[in-house]
Structure formats: structure tokens, C-alpha cells
Amino acid sequence: MSAQSGLAGAVYDRGYRPYVGPRGGRQEATIALWRLSVRRALGLRRSWRQKVLPWSLLAIATVPAVVNVGVAFALKDNPLDFRDFEFITYREYVGVSTTLLLFVALVAPDVMCPDRAQRVLPLIFSRPLTGPDYVLAKVAAITTIVFGFGFLPQVVLYVGQMFVSRDGALNYLTDHAGPLWQVPVSVLILAVYYAAIGVALSSLTDRRIVGGVAILGLFLITSTVASIFEAAADFHGTPLAVLNLLSLPLAVRDLVFLGRLSHDQGLSGVDGGGAVAVAGYLLVVLGAIALLLRRYREVDL
């Protein structure tokens, strides 16, 4: 037997090697759980089927921005004055992010339900993590993705508009400084809202389909009920419009962009409608977080 073949057949028992490197605590564990949840929601390290939905939705959410910039570019040298063509405003585009609700209805249960259904929670909570850490990581993961998917198309729109602007990029930037803070703030408001509700409802069931239906059903039912109250008030505005959980974060968005509610909001005709909207928003988000903290206060092994 040659030395070559002898080496090829060698087997080494490496045994057990103790770990002597850095070891994090709660913070590192929470960040790890956040990262793993984001990865799962985006379908990374999963089959192509799991990747189709999130990336298709991001593409669809970007279409209005691309169309707007494309048309503006095409009309740039048109003799007619289509000054800074804009078929969708930044404020309205935040509203388009509502389509991400569908994404949340699919992704939040996928991030939450298997932990309970497959009884992975005991393993997670045998690590240096607490219930609040788990809730924070999961809500932050969904918030991050919804924010990213709501904000990236806005970036495409803004940068695109800047470069096709007839007045020049620098002038566009100085003339449109408001959206630079209004867009991220309002998209974040929507992202936190959807994430808190989506994760809270998903935590109540082991089954993903039930979680998804519950999320969509809640928004559908509350918006329908609120519409009935608004119609009963002859569309002059009623405080009961606060029950419309679908339009509630958009009312807060209006306050960020306009400093007041837009006329299409059910609360717009109500005295102190803006304050009612903010109070309703906070109540919903904090209620969802409280539900989650209670749900993960104690975990069975």
C-alpha cells in the first residue's frame, strides 16, 4: 500500500473541544433571535418557494415608484410643462404600504406559530433569554422587514425624482426636505403597528393559516364596522371611526405629513380627531405588546 492511499484512509477522532471564545448574554441572544427571525421571514436559507412571496411583494411595492420616475424621465424634455411629474405623493405612497399588511398576515404567523406548534419554545427559553426579550426580537424582526419594504420604494421614488427633476437634483433636495424625515417616521409608525398586531394575533394560535386569517379578518371587520358608523353619521365624522384599525395608522401618518387629518379620514370632522387617532394608535400597539408579554410570561417545558 502506498503512503498516498494510507493517508486517504486515515480517520481522526477529534473528540470534544471546549469553547473558549466570547460568550454574549441577553442582548446578544435577543439580537440573534431577531436576526434569525428576519432571515426566516425573508426566506433566506430556505427553499425558493419561501423566497417568492417576500421578494415579489417588494418588487410590487416598488412598481409605483418606478412608473412615476419613468414617466417623469420620459416627460423631462417635453415642451409642455409637466414640472416634476408626480402621480403619487410621498404621503400617498406610505398608504400603499398598506399592501404590506398582506405580507404581515403571511409572515408574522410563519415567524411565531412554528415555535409553539413544534414546541421549540422550551429550547429557546432554556437559553439566556426572557419572555420580554423574545417579544422584542419577534416584533422588531417584523417591524424591520415591513419598514424596509415600505421605505425602500420611497427611496427609489425620491432618488429617481431627484435625478429626473428639471430643476436639478440639488434644488429638488432642498425643495423636498420634508419627506426626508416624514417618510421614515411615518413608515416606521405603520411598521410598528402592523408588526405588533400581527405578532400578537399569531401568538394566540399554533396554526399559521389561523393566524393569517385572524390578522386579515381583524382589519377587514373593524374597517367594515367603522364604515357603518361613519355612514350613520352622514360622513360628518364620528369618534367611532377610531375603530377602523386599517386607517388608524394612516391618520397618524397624516399628522406627520400634514399636521392635520386629511379629509378622507373618518376622524377628520371630529373635534380633537388627531389626538383621538394618536390615542387609538398607542392603545392598539401597547395593548398588543401587553398581550404578548402576558403570553410569554411563562413557558412550559
Partner 1 sequence: MRAAGLGLTYAGGHITALSDFTVDIPAGSVGLVGANGAGKTTLFRLMLGLLRPTAGHIQVAGRDVATDPVGVRSRLGYMPEHDCLPLDQSASDVVSTFGELAGLPTRAARQRASDVLDLVGLDEARFRPIGGFSTGMRQRTKLAQALVADPALVLLDEPTAGLDPMGREEMLELVGRLAGFGISVILATHLLDDVQRVCEHVVMIDRGRLVRAGPIEALLQTIGVMRVEVGGRDDAVAVLAQALAAKGLASTAVDAHHLDVDTSRHGDEAFDSVRDAVADAGLRLYALSTQHRSLDDVFIQEAYR
Binding residues (CB under 8 A) for partner 1: these are: 14-19, 21-26, 28-29, 32-33, 35-36, 45-46, 114, 118-120, 122-130, 298-299, 301
| Nearest distance from C-beta of residue 40 to partner 1, angstroms | 9
| Nearest distance from C-beta of residue 133 to partner 1, angstroms | 9
Residue number, 43 or 280, with CB nearest to partner 1: 43
Run of H or E residues at 147 = helix 131-164
Residue number, 35 or 83, with CB nearest to partner 1: 35
| Nearest distance from C-beta of residue 32 to partner 1, angstroms | 4
Q: What gap in Å lies between CA 230 and CA 144, rounded to an integer?
A: 34
Residue number, 9 or 79, with CB nearest to partner 1: 9
Residue number, 32 or 218, with CB nearest to partner 1: 32
Residue (of 199, 170, 182) closest to 259 by Cα position: 182
Question: Which amino acid, one-letter code, is at 113?
Answer: C
Residues 272 and 297 sit within 8 Å (Cβ to Cβ): no
| Nearest distance from C-beta of residue 118 to partner 1, angstroms | 5
Residue number, 95 or 211, with CB nearest to partner 1: 211
Residues 227 and 247 sit within 8 Å (Cβ to Cβ): no
| Nearest distance from C-beta of residue 147 to partner 1, angstroms | 23
Burial of 130 (0-12, 13-18, 19+ CB in 10 A): middle
Instruction: Tell me the HSE value of 228 on the side-chain side, using a 13 A CA sphere.
Output: 5
Q: What gap in Å lies between CA 141 and CA 164, rounded to an integer?
A: 35
